[in-house]
Amino acid sequence: MEKHKVIIVEDDEITSLNLNMSLQKHGYSVVAICDNASQAKNKIAMYTPDVIIIDISLQESSDGIELAKIIKQKYGIPFIYLTSYSDDDIISQAKLTEPYGYIVKPFDPGSLHATIQMALFKYQMENERKEDIDSLKVDKLNLEKLLYSKRVSDKPIVPFGRDYHLDISICETFYKGKKIKLTKKENAFLRLLVAQLGLVVSFEQAMNYVWDENGATENSVRTLVWRLRNKLETDIIKNASGIGYYIEE
């Protein structure tokens, strides 16, 4: 079995020695021990470890937290804080970096191992969820092809609901021939629904297709649907409870 690679970032020599011994005893491969953030950055780039243990207060400063921010932004590697602090301000700063766990000094070897295993498991689950979301992404080109296949004869008109149609040549929606004024996101979501008439558009699909920026949530989708329903003349958008929305074919 391949050993998980660990980097220790700790400026107390005795603590780092004890960590190294405990980790090796539990079957981990300690690829580097660093006593400052600058050295740690070089070793992380060199070894790409599976997990990093960081003392929150390196050199009696907030270097540990600053290092964690860089790891999160640049490498996406799970990290665990090692701390003897119970100061609320420091803990609050640390929380913002979203660590995968905390180990309090003096550490217990069993708790150390359990914390690392939980961190690795959480990281794996997060990656699998990202892959699931990526698999649900709707390619814009494929969506245009779906809409094109639903048009009436050789016209750029796609009918849906009752008395609605989408003009795919100008990306506008009409009800009984009258244009409905929609925002960019409302229009994108409606196109997604029309392209997949009769099929449920999941929250994940909507978030990935409609929102270019990160940070969209299921509540973002619900709010968008609420606004869109208020602009449509009839209630054609149906709920698929807990999954998403659809328009009947």
Tell me if 167 sits within 8 A of 174, measured CB to CB: yes
Percent of the residues in the chain that have a pLDDT greater than 90, as a whole number: 51
- Does 130 lie in the same domain as 33? yes
Residue 50: give its domain's CATH number. 3.40.50.2300
Q: Is the bond into 156 cis (omega within 30 degrees of 0)?
A: no
Q: Which domain holds residue 188?
A: 140-247
Q: Do 130 and 157 belong to one domain?
A: no
pLDDT(132) > 60: no
Q: Are residues 204 and 175 in the same domain?
A: yes
On whether both 53 and 113 belong to a single domain, the answer is yes
* Structural element, H or E, at residue 142: helix 140-149
Kindly report the backbone phi and psi dihedral angles of residue 29, in degrees, each rounded to the nearest multiple of 5, phi listed first: -105, 110
Q: Whole-structure pTM over 0.75, yes or no?
A: no
pLDDT of residue 79: 95
User: What one-letter code names the amino acid at 62?
Assistant: S
pLDDT of residue 49: 95
pLDDT of residue 86: 59
Across the range 120-131, mean pLDDT stands at: 80
Q: Are residues 22 and 125 in the same domain?
A: yes
- pLDDT tier at 18, thresholds 50, 70, 90: very high
pLDDT at residue number 240: 86
Please tell me whether residues 129 and 180 are part of one structural domain: no
Q: Tell whether the model's pLDDT for residue 215 goes beyond 70.
A: yes
| Residue where a domain terminates, one of 135, 152, 173 | 135
Phi-psi category of 155—alpha, beta or left, where left has phi over 0 and alpha has psi -120 to 50?
beta
pLDDT score recorded for residue 96: 87
* pLDDT per position as a tens digit, 89-114: 777 888 888 899 988 888 888 889 99
Number of domains into which the chain is organized = 2
pLDDT in tens, 145-198: 888 888 887 888 999 988 999 998 888 999 999 999 999 999 999 999 998 888
